[in-house]
Structure 1
Amino acid sequence: MLRDLGTLDGPVLLFGGPYSNSDALEALMRAAGKAGIPPGQMICTGDAVAYCAAPSETVDMLRDAGICVVAGNCEKQLASGADNCGCGFDEGSACELLSGSWYSYAAARIDPEQRAWMASCPDVTVFEHQGARYAVIHGGMTDVARFIWPDSLDAVFAEEWAAVEAAVGAVDHVIAGHSGIPFIRETGAGRWINAGVIGMPPHDGRQQTRYAVLEGGEVLIHKLSYDVTAAAARMAEAGLVQGYDRALLSGYWPSEDVLPPSLRLPSLARG
């Protein structure tokens, strides 16, 4: 499914992975308001629902605001009634084992109307900004849950770019998410932009999460501060204490299984 937003002339706020973290989404909406960016100029790369404790509230906030949300693997899985998140974690990995708890929690709290909204989210969104055409996807075009990293092979970017253009025509830049690590990669075809996620820190030992603003053809990645203590307390109250609650506070993911070796941290860095 394709959604064409036409021409967006003003600044465009790009973000991914609210992850059921309503406290972070509230903070993002406040930041957008202060910057004079309306919801119609905000685009989410998907996974509205995941690790944290407010799945229904987070979905309603996005819907009520009218923010364009590209379908992530979580939207697709919840919309279809699947019994797992489809995140692309290796079978038997810590991430795969941990996903069972938060996914079942979220699935029990998303109602049919919210699932229908998820089913209506586009697979890819396109828009024009400052004379350039952008495509927005979740992970990869060939696989919604494909992990693409800042140091992925050139061939990976080339394959995904070709798949995007086969679906929507020529684009100058691609915006994607899923990996949870913000980066901008210059490829032979244009920039591959990952704005990061707002619901979980990028495994850097800090509580702040990330989003990006596209303005005047340039992209700046910003840090988002929010009430982390409240978000972690919600998770504790909900019984979601398998590690992601601590990640909000420590800034480190509970497992590095999904990360390529180049992005894993020395154990001493995490105490």
Structure 2
Amino acid sequence: MSIVKHQDLGRVEGPVLLFGGPYSNLQALHALMDAARQRAIPAERMICTGDVVAYCGDPSATTDALRAAGIPLVAGNCEKQLAAGAPDCGCGFDAGTTCDLLSEGWYGVANAQIGPDQRGWMATAADIISFSHAGQRFAVIHGGMTDIARFIWPCSDRKVFEEEWAAVEAAIGPVDAIVAGHSGIPFTKDCAKGRWINAGVIGMPPHDGGQDTRFAVLDQGQVTFHKLGYDVEAAVAAMERAGLTQGYHSALRSGYWPSEDVLPPELHRAALASG
């Protein structure tokens, strides 16, 4: 059984900025840092839920920028795979689906750009981060604790949340809330033992038809979601220069993912439109 790397940030005072999935989108990461400065939130009170590298065109520069900022990072499946020199992203897409096929393109670009020193840094990232805030204990993971690439949605069965909560507490003890990422959709859900918070991702819009991405702020125990605007055209241009024109570049403009393969039916465009 592998050892869980646990980083305890201790007691954190003041607002905490939670975000996931920079996804090689350097422009979005720069915009997020600007948003943090406007809120007077320093890097030590920002936490990334992983997947620094993915769909967009600047994997190396995005990695260097996040690393230089000193923001605490939970390892995503992309960090794990690149650190191990694996041939694919390990995203959890079903074999042969559009998402699976598209991942070959962007992962190949990232694998070619990310160097040994960057992979070494990725290998040091925690599997789980904990901290105390406003009298509550929080755990931060990537997808699930049982499976780093588990897609967990607001409509997932309650047993999914119970399984993951039990796995987190088996690793680090009782918690009042769990912060996660991976799925790309921001939400909160009241569970039997506390709140499940998905902070969303900054590198890709949440399949809602808008270009803005999302991050979350935890302040005095309350979570709020915020839209993040950034230079979309510069991000698209970076993808085009990298040869990443298979669909995700269009998603930055349209606000819709190139495939709904990974989404549950309740979150498909047609279902949301009719709802």
**TM-score w.r.t. structure 1 length?**
0.98
State the partner residue of 2:166. Answer: 162
Give the Cα separation in 2 of the matches to 1:116 and 1:186.
Answer: 37
Q: Specify the code of the residue in structure 1 equivalent to 2:97.
A: S
Residue of structure 2 equivalent to 1:251:
255
Match of 2:18? Answer: 14
Structure 1 stretches lacking a partner, 5+ long: none
Taking the aligned partners of 1:254 and 1:154, their CA distance within structure 2 comes to 28
- The one-letter amino acid paired with 1:142 is T
- 1:262 pairs with 263, 266, 269, which one? 266
1:59, 1:103 → 2: CA distance? 14
**2:206 aligned partner:** 202
Aligned residue runs from structure 1 range 111-260, under 5 A = 111-260=115-264
Describe the SS at the equivalent of 1:152: coil
Match of 1:58 among 44, 57, 62: 62
C-alpha displacement at 1:266, in angstroms? 1.9
SS of 2:269's equivalent in the other structure is coil
SS in 1 for 2:105: helix
The superposition leaves residues 50-96 of structure 1 with CA deviations (integer Å, 9 ceiling, x where unpaired) of 00000011111111010001000000000000000000000000000
Displacement of 1:238 in angstroms is 1.3
Q: CA deviation at 1:33?
A: 0.2
Residue 80 of structure 2 corresponds to residue 76 of structure 1? yes
Residue 102 of structure 1 pairs with residue 113 of structure 2: no
Aligned to 1:47: 51
Can you give the 5+ residue segments of structure 2 that lack an aligned partner in the other structure? none
Question: Percent identity at matched positions?
Answer: 66
Separation (CA, whole Å) in 2 of partners of 1:86 and 1:72: 10
Cα distance per residue 1:103-146 (max 9 Å; x no partner): 01001000101000100000000000011000000000000000
Q: Residues of 1 paired with 2:14 and 2:114: CA distance?
A: 34
Offset of residue 265 of structure 1: 1.1
Q: What letter is aligned with 2:227?
A: K
Give TM-score scaled by structure 2 length. Answer: 0.97
Take 1:16 and 1:266, find their aligned partners in 2: how far apart are those partners? Answer: 26
Quick one: which amino acid aligns to residue 210 of structure 2? R
Q: Secondary structure at the match of 2:162?
A: helix
Q: Is the 2:265–2:271 contact (alpha carbons within 8 Å) kept by the matching residues of 1?
A: no
Following the alignment from structure 1 to structure 2, what is the Cα–Cα distance between the partners of residues 224 and 204? 14
